[in-house]
Amino acid sequence: MKYSFKIHKRIALLLGCCLLFSGIKSQESSIRVAGKVTNEKGAPIEAASVTIAGSQTGTTTNAEGRFTLNARSGVLLFITYIGYDTLKVKAAAEINVALVPVSAALEDVIVVGYGRQRRTDVTGSISSVSPKDFNQGVTASPDQLLTGKVAGLTIVRNSGDPTGGATIQLRGPSSLTAGINPFYVIDGVPGANIDLIAPADIVSMDILKDASSAAIYGSRAANGVIMVTTKKGKSGKPVVAYSGYAALDAISKRVEVLGADEYTKFLADNNMTVSASESGHNTNWQNEIFRNGISHNHNISIAGGNSDTRFSASVNYFEQEGIVKKNDIKRLVTRLGVEQSLFDNKVRASLNVVTSNIRSHHVDYGIFNYAARFLPVSPIKSDAAEYEQYGGYFQVPGRTNYYNPVAWLNQREEPRTRNIFQTFGKIEADLTRDLMFVVTGSVQREMYDNKTYMSIYNINPTAIGKGYANRTVYTNSDKVFESNLTYTAPFTDEQKLKLMVGYSYQNTITNDGLYGQNNTFSSDGLGPNNLGAGGGASAGLINPFDGTPAKQESTLLAYFGRVNYAWADRYLLTATVRRDGSSKFGKNNRWALFPSVSVAWKITQENFMKDQRLFNDLKLRMGYGVSGNQNISPYASLTQYGTGSDQFLYNGSFINSLAVTQNPNPNLKWETTKMYNFGLDFTVLKGRLSGTVEYYDKKTSDLLYSYNVPTPPYLFNTLLANGGTMSNKGIEVSLNATVITTAHFTWKSFGNFARNKNKVGSISGNIANLNLERVLTGGDYFAGFDGWTAQTTSVLLPGQPIGTFFTAKYVGYDAAAKKTIYQTPSGKLKTSDQLESPGDYQIVGYALPKFTYGWGNSFTYKGFDLAFFVRGVYGNKIYNASRADLSRLTQAGVTNVSPLAVKDGVFEAPVNSSRWLESGSFLRMDNATLGYNVPVKKGNVFKSLRFYFTGTNVFTITEYTGVDPEVNMGGLAPGVDSRNYYPKTRSFIFGVDVRL
């Protein structure tokens, strides 16, 4: 298979070169076109697009509205600008034109797979977000810009950790184990790393929501596709821009536990005591580990050029202190782009080089549990001799569930380094007037250097001897080569036809590196930087990836095509097909086909609509498509071996045996998602109100799942196989309104609403004897503490959604008997010691919300502007395992408890039950911004100058008693607050934007 991949690649390269050099032939002589574009009032329009018909050759106007372009005399030029009618003119030496305004919703140009389209010509479901609509605030990752802005797109950052990631879900979960995050395409590079982008460099983000739009990306599009477009160079004088801000980040809410006085009173009231060494102090452990964080961000860019050569460059520096001491991130992103027109614009070449350097310090999340549970009457340090071995920090050696949080923070280091480099080249060639060839290539490398060091004074039991260190160094690399050929048929104005065929090759290598560890150090002086200084028995190199091969390689080949047809600008058809071949899957199922088709009817273009005045635009869309998910290990279908538990005697020594650690599955294949989409786009009241209403029906089959299998006949007890089905059905509504427009005042409002219904259809495998009726999930949230046994919270059950809570049903508490009462599915009442798990469990709630919503408003008055955005969810439950963990009143002599537990007065160990279910509904004001645009006179050094103040996470309305109602929504057991106490932040930001 590897050789066939190379042959395909060489054939495609040879074909591309032949097409490129044979197609560039002498044509009519070109002329230099110069002109000026103004609005209806004669004011110049900056950044208007001027393109040659039937090609992607073009330029944009500068700040004076002027442009220059080389084109054949008499060829048709299209001049477009958002908010204005497209103007068609013939190329001449001088062109001065005025554009006529229309509704902006009618003339948007959006990015689709391998091309661009006018929004009015789009037949699939695509949502676009521009910089003016991005979320404001401290942005550690570009995905935060979209939170709440797109109907059906859920982005959850379930902590305030600046180094943490997000769970992103589009139109509900559609996989059990192969991931749910959308696929990113950045400036045409599939699978590019989102951390390569500085938010200030983004021009637009287009979300391909349905399969008819995303199927062009085949086996990686089942969870949707996010297309990111960054800034490019423009013709004209160089423009320098700076944007920056400084921010103060504060804790939005802390874990509620008893203070020293409350704790002492509780012990006295209940005849409980603590040891003398653990009492007599007043320590607020959360105060000791938290702080106010300072963040700042700076972005400087320059762009300019002429009709032949354009360039853009930017440097972004971002630094954020976490609200936990020693937790921070520093990121430097550089970007350089050059575009060159050759052979009278018949050939256009571009090159982009991007680097991202990230330095961060992580903290172990266990520290939040320790800060909540460590006794408030205990000291931070002690002068007693017995604590010298811990560096003077007070510790309780016999207590292995939690440690002194200040000691844990100060005696542990986790520095991380991540360097990303990407280069991307593109050549476009007009082979004829109607035929264009495009070839692209990119290389991306990510280099990681992760370290962990625990002090020689650390109490952690895994630090054998004195101190512990490990270091992981590895590289991920990605190479992409793609080419496509586009033919625009020279039809009449009544009919338009565009055909595109293409080829894609992608090679990915991950985890190419080494891991080392050691212990028993003589001092902390070298930290994790010299593993050889340790003297522990575990010194040496081991596999860092838990038994899977360290270096992993995969290859993806694809052939794809698309047809766009329009008749009378009323009836539109788009059809795509993609055939993918992936080395990740079994030898019997490496190739698959992903087709799609969608149609649209522009109702307002019909003759019977000409006399009506309500609708400016009315379009009905329908689509169907097939996409896939291949987000699994590259060697998931193969037999894998690892060190076994048995040993044998060889040459006088016992040698560890090798054993099978993964069963092969030659029939393993991708998950397949089929989706129907129906949409209605409308604009009314002369553009004052526009919106979209959509309904979708998404079904995923051949779900990947690791099944338990018997040994023998299998050599290992699990098998990754296809099987199971899942569905998501929903409705989405998006509205945009211009409420008021006067000479000095405007008010614009937008909102979105989404409702999704998820259902698991089957969880049985497609191999004999892999039949499952249900799967208990949710983790051991009560295991390992005070002798508790493992208890799960959720269940995978056919006919029910992911995130179905499956526990005992809590009825109440018998204070006299000190027993909690539960009701079984048959209606019988039982106490906790009588419960049988899971026989007495039942469905008690759901983690997925009934609907989500967002609402934003922006106001301008002369130079001032004000904007705010609120969003929320409704109808979901949260399993508050964190509250349960702090409700063990019987253990109050060794662990702190919450005021809610004291109020409840339940003196019995917590049991997995509906007692811990709470409403997860919330309404949050995500951000509010007040800005002022300083008046700038003509000739001033500043072209624009704006100051602003922003508040983020301004307030949250919720009944949830935990730290925050936004908890993890990924995995098989979403909606569980499992002692993850890293609070979200509330930020106060002052910023400035300048253009020179």
**Pick from 629, 603, 757: nearest CA to 695:** 757
By CB atoms closer than 10 A (0-12, 13-18, 19+), residue 660 is middle
pLDDT of residue 110: 82
Residue 183: helix, strand or coil by DSSP?
strand
Cα within 13 Å of Cα(523), Cβ side: 2
pLDDT surpasses 50 at 26: no
By CB atoms closer than 10 A (0-12, 13-18, 19+), residue 204 is middle
Residue type at 46?
E
pLDDT surpasses 70 at 636: yes
Interval 828-879: pLDDT, tens: 999 988 988 788 999 999 999 999 999 999 999 988 999 999 999 999 999 9
**Pick from 874, 869, 966: nearest CA to 149:** 869
pLDDT of residue 675: 97
Alpha-carbon distance 349 to 190, whole Å?
19
Alpha-carbon distance 334 to 884, whole Å?
47
Classify residue 396 by its DSSP letter.
-
**Pick from 698, 677, 559, 674: nearest CA to 626:** 674
Interval 276-293: pLDDT, tens: 878 889 999 999 999 999
For the segment 599-603, the average pLDDT, to the nearest whole number, is: 96
Name beta bridge partners: 554: 508
**Pick from 189, 197, 170, 194: nearest CA to 181:** 170
Yes or no: say if 561 and 114 are a contact pair by the CB < 8 Å rule. Answer: no
DSSP-assigned letters across all residues of 109-160: EEEETTEEEEGGG--S-EEEE-GGGSPPS--SSGGGGGTTTSTTEEEE--S-
Residue 718: helix, strand or coil by DSSP?
strand
For the segment 514-543, the average pLDDT, to the nearest whole number, is: 76
pLDDT surpasses 60 at 783: no
Interval 118-159: pLDDT, tens: 888 899 999 999 888 888 888 878 888 999 999 999 998 878
Alpha-carbon distance 794 to 65, whole Å?
61
Average pLDDT of the chain is 88
Which token pair is 263? 């704790």
CA angle 499, 505, 511 (to 5 degrees): 145
Residue type at 890?
T
Name the residue with higher pLDDT: 108 or 693.
Answer: 693
Alpha-carbon distance 864 to 705, whole Å?
55
Name the residue with higher pLDDT: 994 or 120.
Answer: 994
Classify residue 790 by its DSSP letter.
P
**Pick from 31, 182, 156, 8: nearest CA to 93:** 31
Classify residue 952 by its DSSP letter.
E
Q: Which of 9-23, 627-641, 862-876 has the lowest mean pLDDT?
A: 9-23
Write down the residue that tokens 């962990």 correspond to.
Answer: 452
pLDDT surpasses 90 at 514: no
Classify residue 638 by its DSSP letter.
S
Interval 869-916: pLDDT, tens: 999 999 999 999 899 989 999 989 899 999 999 999 999 888 889 999
Distances from the Cα of 785 to the Cαs of 356, 820, 888, 899, 924, in angstroms? 42, 19, 10, 20, 35
Yes or no: say if 617 and 105 are a contact pair by the CB < 8 Å rule. Answer: yes
pLDDT of residue 368: 92
Name the residue with higher pLDDT: 537 or 759.
Answer: 759
Residue 749: helix, strand or coil by DSSP?
strand
Yes or no: say if 859 and 746 are a contact pair by the CB < 8 Å rule. Answer: yes
Find all residues with CB under 8 Å of 811, minimum gap 6, and list them: 821, 822, 823, 829
pLDDT surpasses 80 at 199: yes
pLDDT surpasses 50 at 629: yes
Percent of the chain whose predicted confidence (pLDDT) is above 70: 92
**Pick from 865, 864, 913: nearest CA to 887:** 913
Yes or no: say if 478 and 462 are a contact pair by the CB < 8 Å rule. Answer: no
pLDDT of residue 537: 53
DSSP-assigned letters across all residues of 232-273: ---SEEEEEEEEEEEEEEEES-------HHHHHHHHHHTT--
For the segment 743-760, the average pLDDT, to the nearest whole number, is: 95
Write down the residue that tokens 């023998």 correspond to.
Answer: 712
pLDDT surpasses 70 at 173: yes
Q: Rounded to 5 degrees, what are φ and ψ at 223?
A: -100, 15
Buried b (16+ CB within 10 A) or exposed e, 320-356: bbbbbbbbbbebbbebebbbebeebbbbbebebebeb
Name the residue with higher pLDDT: 505 or 782.
Answer: 505
Interval 391-435: pLDDT, tens: 999 998 877 778 999 999 999 999 999 999 999 999 999 999 899
Distances from the Cα of 853 to the Cαs of 692, 693, 803, 850, 924, in angstroms? 14, 14, 20, 10, 11
pLDDT of residue 996: 87
Distances from the Cα of 330 to the Cαs of 311, 826, 990, in angstroms? 27, 57, 19
pLDDT surpasses 60 at 519: yes
Alpha-carbon distance 74 to 372, whole Å?
76
Which token pair is 730? 């929903």
pLDDT of residue 591: 95
Percent of the chain whose predicted confidence (pLDDT) is above 90: 60
pLDDT of residue 842: 94
Classify residue 727 by its DSSP letter.
E
pLDDT surpasses 80 at 672: yes
Interval 707-746: pLDDT, tens: 988 888 888 989 999 989 999 999 999 999 999 988 889 9
Residue 491: helix, strand or coil by DSSP?
coil
Alpha-carbon distance 298 to 243, whole Å?
6
By CB atoms closer than 10 A (0-12, 13-18, 19+), residue 408 is buried
HEC letters along 270-293? CCCCCCHHHCCCCCCHHHHHECCE
Alpha-carbon distance 558 to 595, whole Å?
13
For the segment 531-550, the average pLDDT, to the nearest whole number, is: 57
Q: What share of the chain is helix, strand, coil (3-state, %, to 5)?
A: 10, 50, 40
Q: Which of 132-146, 698-712, 947-961 has the lowest mean pLDDT?
A: 132-146
For the segment 506-528, the average pLDDT, to the nearest whole number, is: 89
Which token pair is 650? 């060889």
pLDDT of residue 530: 85
Pair type for strands 236-251 and 615-629: unpaired
pLDDT surpasses 80 at 14: no
Alpha-carbon distance 64 to 184, whole Å?
36
For the segment 328-339, the average pLDDT, to the nearest whole number, is: 96
Alpha-carbon distance 519 to 535, whole Å?
6
Per-residue pLDDT band at 223 (split at 50, 70, 90): very high
Can you list the domains of the chain with their CATH numbers? 28-102 (2.60.40.1120)
pLDDT of residue 918: 97
Write down the residue that tokens 């179905």 correspond to.
Answer: 804
pLDDT surpasses 70 at 82: no
Name the residue with higher pLDDT: 29 or 899.
Answer: 899
Per-residue pLDDT band at 598 (split at 50, 70, 90): very high
Cα within 13 Å of Cα(839), Cβ side: 5
Rg, Å, the chain Cα set: 31
Interval 913-929: pLDDT, tens: 999 999 999 999 999 99
Per-residue pLDDT band at 462 (split at 50, 70, 90): low
